Chains A and B, each alone.
Chain A
Amino acid sequence: MDSTTSVRVRGLRKSYGETIAVDGVDLDIFHGEVFALLGPNGAGKTTTVGILEGYRRRDSGEVSVLGTDPSEGGREWRARIGIVLQSNADASELSVREMIRYFAAYYPDPRDPDEVIEAVGLAEKAGAKLRQLSGGQRRRVDVALGIIGNPELLFLDEPTTGFDPEARRQFWRLISGLAHSGTTILLTTHYLEEAEALANRVGVIAAGRIRAIDAPAELGGRATAKARVSWLAPDGRRSVQTDTPTRVVAELAGQLDGEIPELTVTRPSLEDVYLAMIGHAESDAPPGPPGRSPAPTGATQ
């Protein structure tokens, strides 16, 4: 592991009984980057991240998070990471400020609680009890508790599930701000536009394996994929796939003498690429336990 890598994973495997959850994952996440892990439910995303966070044991493979094996990570290691889990629904009687101060007391070098409250946009709710907050406000508390220890590496597990679009934009600004201040972030999400907005690199996981890792704009050859030019011809809708969309449009403009009806020029969206990848993964490795070959090593829990 060199000094620029925050997370290094090689040949990671994990099974639950007969079901293979993670089937040989390799992954590198570099200092200071925002890495998004995408994948359908049951793809191995949660298991992989759970192993990196030290919550789950692996069957085999090498894992290093900030230079430490998470299964042996002690308090010193925990002080350097921050974790925002999927849901925390406790009906706490404590106020936002109290809760954040209590968590700050677990860390050797915490951030200032009031600054953190301000950063997550809860300054006006600092005195409110946790159980009185809305879902989106609760999520901000979760993030505040994840970053109060001033982590070098932050895990964000589906952070904006259930947010309205405005809250999601605000949240993205918060995460971008953290990334700019040098925090390495591992984000899992169902929202492709979220990955596109935040991540330097995206990894797609399906059926327990990493299918592709690339910048969001490059994933699956998006940047160099053929463009689709579509328009309404007198005899109906027509479309062509082409490497030279500009020329096609120019020719059409000449033929049609001016405005081309209902013209669109598109390249595959991140969603198109993603769906093609996970569709492919599912067809070559059917999900579920039956008919799957067992993992070569340590299928026990």
Chain B
Amino acid sequence: MSTTVAVRPAVALPSVTRVSLSRTGLELKSFFRRREAVVFTFSLPVILLIIFGSIFHGTVGTTGVSFRLYFTAGIIASGIMSTTFVNLGISIVLEREDGTLKRLAGTPMPKAAYFAGKALSCLVIAAIEVAILLGIGIALYGLKLPDSGERWLTFTWVFLLGVATCTMLGIAVSSVPRSSRSAAAVLNLPYLVLQFISGVYFPFNSLPKGMQTVAAIFPLKWLCQGLRAALLPDSLLAAEPAHSWELGKVALVLTAWLVGSLILCLRTFRWQNDR
């Protein structure tokens, strides 16, 4: 038994940015190698979009805007929430249960890098999802890409803020289920309910007033509204409850949820099930 301690040269710890990028690579590799998960993740909203498109025709109220365009914007919002909030939340519950998180917590990996890796990989996956849905909307329902710089700007910040908010929410809610068996149920309940009350499948102003009030508390309603502002013509404003896109409110509510869930993550995130 030797008592000499090798004096290690002081080597700097890898930077948070470097480890974050490395984590992003790992997350994306892990996701895209699960073929069936990839196929189902991307095809679910596509199938919904096509089913709704073949059932529903007509226009939204007297606006002259095709109802198909309306729910295309809604399903894009819902697709963002499904790839970030639902899939991400379930995957973190699994990682907590199988010991992946505990093992990571035992390494010098900066904890922020884990979350950054999740967020950046979600951003890439959500971008692909949105591109596919936009493509179908354009090909089948006559959707038009934003026609001005201003609308592109709206589209970009609504998309980025929506992904960031839903990602943080998914991470925050992942601490609720006690096991992976209940994870899908816990994550899907709010997702399904919000889809129906937030103006994804039905025009928002056709919903009962009480439902509208409840939905306005949650982020999905605002994400849908922001995407409608970027993708649909202004003639639709007649069918918006406030007769305005309320982009300031969109930013405010999404940011409030982002900050709230970030604080929740910092205070309640569990790296292990036992303690």
Q: Which single member of B13, B22, B100 contacts A79 (CB below 8 Å)?
A: B13
With A and B bound together, what is the CA distance between A200 and B275 in angstroms?
A: 31
Residue B26 is within 8 A (CB to CB) of chain A in the complex: yes
With A and B bound together, what is the CA distance between A182 and B102 in angstroms?
A: 26
Residue A231 is within 8 A (CB to CB) of chain B in the complex: no
With A and B bound together, what is the CA distance between A243 and B54 in angstroms?
A: 94
B100→A90 contact, CB < 8 A: yes
A94→B13 contact, CB < 8 A: no
Residue A28 is within 8 A (CB to CB) of chain B in the complex: no
Residue A93 is within 8 A (CB to CB) of chain B in the complex: yes
Summed over the interface, the residue pairs from A and B with CB atoms below 8 Å come to a total of: 97
Residue B139 is within 8 A (CB to CB) of chain A in the complex: no
Chain A residues closer than 8 Å to B5, beta-carbon distance? 3, 31, 152
A109→B8 contact, CB < 8 A: yes
Interface centre among B9, B33, B107 (most CB of A within 10 A): B107
With A and B bound together, what is the CA distance between A105 and B30 in angstroms?
A: 17
Chain B residues closer than 8 Å to A88, beta-carbon distance? 98-100, 103
B99→A87 contact, CB < 8 A: yes
With A and B bound together, what is the CA distance between A88 and B11 in angstroms?
A: 29
A55→B95 contact, CB < 8 A: no
B106→A55 contact, CB < 8 A: yes
Residue B3 is within 8 A (CB to CB) of chain A in the complex: yes
A-side interface size class: 35 or more
Chain B residues closer than 8 Å to A30, beta-carbon distance? 1, 3
Residue B253 is within 8 A (CB to CB) of chain A in the complex: no
For B107, give the chain A residue with the smallest CB separation. Answer: A106
With A and B bound together, what is the CA distance between A14 and B89 in angstroms?
A: 32
Residue A247 is within 8 A (CB to CB) of chain B in the complex: no
B-side interface size class: 35 or more
The answer to whether residues A55 and B107 also contact, given A94-B29, A182-B6 and a CB cut-off of 8 A, is no
With A and B bound together, what is the CA distance between A76 and B60 in angstroms?
A: 60
A85→B29 contact, CB < 8 A: no
For A105, give the chain B residue with the smallest CB separation. Answer: B22
Q: Which single member of A31, A89, A149, A200 contacts B108 (CB below 8 Å)?
A: A149
Residues 1-25 (chain B) with a chain A CB within 8 angstroms: 1-6, 8-9, 11-14, 18-19, 22, 25
With A and B bound together, what is the CA distance between A75 and B9 in angstroms?
A: 16
Write the nearest CB–CB distance from B183 to chain A, whole angstroms. Answer: 15
Q: Which single member of A75, A85, A98, A103 contacts B13 (CB below 8 Å)?
A: A75
B26→A76 contact, CB < 8 A: no
B108→A83 contact, CB < 8 A: no
A78→B100 contact, CB < 8 A: no
Contact mask for chain B residues 21-50; partner A; CB cutoff 8 A; 1 contact, 0 none: 010011001100110000000000000000
Contact mask for chain A residues 61-94; partner B; CB cutoff 8 A; 1 contact, 0 none: 0000000000000011011010101011111111
B110→A75 contact, CB < 8 A: yes
Residue B136 is within 8 A (CB to CB) of chain A in the complex: no
B1→A106 contact, CB < 8 A: no
Residues 144-171 (chain B) with a chain A CB within 8 angstroms: none
A53→B13 contact, CB < 8 A: no
Write the nearest CB–CB distance from B101 to chain A, whole angstroms. Answer: 10
Residue A163 is within 8 A (CB to CB) of chain B in the complex: no
B108→A76 contact, CB < 8 A: yes
For A108, give the chain B residue with the smallest CB separation. Answer: B11
Chain A residues closer than 8 Å to B107, beta-carbon distance? 78, 83, 103, 106-107, 149
Residue B272 is within 8 A (CB to CB) of chain A in the complex: yes
B11→A85 contact, CB < 8 A: no
Residue B194 is within 8 A (CB to CB) of chain A in the complex: no
Chain A residues closer than 8 Å to B26, beta-carbon distance? 94, 98, 102
Residue B211 is within 8 A (CB to CB) of chain A in the complex: no
The answer to whether residues A83 and B19 also contact, given A33-B1, A108-B11, A200-B1 and a CB cut-off of 8 A, is no
Contact mask for chain A residues 232-256; partner B; CB cutoff 8 A; 1 contact, 0 none: 0000000000000000000000000
Residues 12-68 (chain A) with a chain B CB within 8 angstroms: 30-33, 53-56
With A and B bound together, what is the CA distance between A182 and B5 in angstroms?
A: 9
The answer to whether residues A55 and B3 also contact, given A93-B33, A105-B19, A108-B11 and a CB cut-off of 8 A, is no
B106→A83 contact, CB < 8 A: yes
Chain A residues closer than 8 Å to B18, beta-carbon distance? 105
Residue B259 is within 8 A (CB to CB) of chain A in the complex: no
Chain A residues closer than 8 Å to B14, beta-carbon distance? 105-108
Residue B105 is within 8 A (CB to CB) of chain A in the complex: yes
Chain A residues closer than 8 Å to B184, beta-carbon distance? none
Residue B264 is within 8 A (CB to CB) of chain A in the complex: no
Residue A132 is within 8 A (CB to CB) of chain B in the complex: no
For A79, give the chain B residue with the smallest CB separation. Answer: B108
A-B contact pairs, 29 of them (CB 8 A): A3-B3, A31-B1, A31-B5, A33-B1, A55-B105, A55-B106, A55-B272, A75-B108, A83-B106, A85-B103, A87-B99, A88-B99, A88-B100, A90-B94, A90-B95, A93-B29, A102-B22, A103-B107, A105-B18, A105-B22, A107-B13, A107-B14, A108-B14, A108-B108, A109-B8, A145-B103, A149-B108, A182-B6, A301-B275
Q: Which 6 A-B pairs have the closest CB atoms?
A: A93-B33, A108-B11, A78-B108, A83-B106, A75-B108, A106-B109
